[in-house]
Amino acid sequence: KNQNGSTIIELLISLMVVGLVVTAVAVASTYSIKNTGEARFRQAASTLAQEVVEKSRSEKTRLGFVSFNSAVGSNTYCFDTIPAAFDNSDPDDDYSMPAPGACSTGETISLAGSEFTREVVFDTSATSIIVEVNVSWSDSGNIRNIQIIQEFYPANYSY
């Protein structure tokens, strides 16, 4: 009789241990999946931000420092298209530079399974153009954000 009671207790303890292990594996898997999704969103946001910085660099080179400085001014823009566009030569073109102003509801980019808002602040002076790119998205109800700041100077500027 004592052996039957011991066997039942051993079985219950074994089931509890197996249950704890299965629960731990499930929690670890959930955490890993969440981190993978967050990393994917962060990578997409970084790519969106870097695109505007590279496009700004390209336009500064194409137009020259003074013309680019004048074109963007000290303004905020919402770049809600891929690729980001700076060309205003054709106002009917879908890829022309947006009008100055912050992003409003619905001005988002769908990428990597999320909606991203890409807002760019240009702060210009006679000797520099500061490009501040902010990309934000919602992840599990929390607003996430990355920011890239790039400063441009005239070609003949001495530091």
Q: What is the mean pLDDT of each run of 10 residues along the chain (159 residues)?
A: 72 92 88 78 96 93 90 93 73 66 92 93 96 94 95 83
pTM of this structure? 0.74
Query: Is residue 20, in this structure, part of any structural domain at all?
Result: yes
> Does a structural domain hold residue 23?
yes
pLDDT score of 88: 60
Q: Which amino acid is at 17?
A: V
Whole domain around residue 104: which residue ranges? 2-152
Chain mean position to CA 130:
19
pLDDT in the model for residue 6:
77
Question: Do 148 and 49 meet the contact criterion of CB atoms below 8 Å apart?
Answer: yes
Angle, in degrees to the nearest 10, between helices 65-72 and 2-63: 120
Q: Which residues pair with 148 in a beta bridge?
A: 133
Domain count along the chain: 1
Q: Among candidates 85, 102, 104, which has minimal Cα distance to 94?
A: 85
Q: Is the peptide bond before 83 cis (omega within 30 degrees of 0)?
A: yes
Considering the domain boundaries, does residue 131 fall inside one?
A: yes
In a domain, 157, yes or no: no
